[in-house]
Amino acid sequence: MSNSNRRQREIFNEINITPLTDIFLVLLIIMMVIAPLLDQQGLSLSTPSSKNPDKSKQSKIITIDVSDKGAYSIDGSQASPDSLVFKIKDAAKKKKDGLLIQASDNAYHGDVVKVMDAARNAGVANISLIEK
């Protein structure tokens, strides 16, 4: 009997690591595909403390209204989508505290994102968003 035990020990003396290597390679490929997706930069937004902004602070903040039909108004004057960057740059010279976007309930997401992109291109750092 001792002779048969020796043969069994010799047979199982080596461990097959091929399946373990396959699993590690698959995990490596998955991590290589997912890693670039995790490096995307976002836009940090700060939310205002109340629904109605303080009027004294609002005088130093650029206010942009976005209607549900895609119309923009900067501090009460109408603006076209093409002129948003230039008008925000002009307003930012006088009002340096930031930008407040007031979007209507039915405003399209793309219209609000256009304002955010224009503000970022104009050099505005602080952007707040509220719903009218």
Q: DSSP states of 31-82 as a string?
A: HHHHHHHHT---------SSSS--HHHHTTSEEEEE-TTS-EEETTEEE-GG
φ/ψ (deg, to 5) at 35: -55, -45
Q: What is the pLDDT of residue 58?
A: 47
Give residue for tokens 């490596």: 28
Q: What is the pLDDT of residue 24?
A: 96
What's the CATH architecture for 55-131? 2-Layer Sandwich (3.30)
Give residue for tokens 């960057």: 85
Q: What is the pLDDT of residue 77?
A: 84
**Domain spans in the chain, listed from the N-terminal domain onward:** 2-38, 55-131
Number of residues in the chain:
132
pLDDT means per 10 residues, the chain with 132 residues, are: 60 81 96 84 63 57 87 86 86 84 86 87 84 79
Sign of the dihedral defined by the CA atoms of residues 51, 75, 96, 94, in that order: negative
DSSP conformation class of 83: G
Beta bridge partners of 100: 63, 128
Q: What is the pLDDT of residue 30?
A: 95
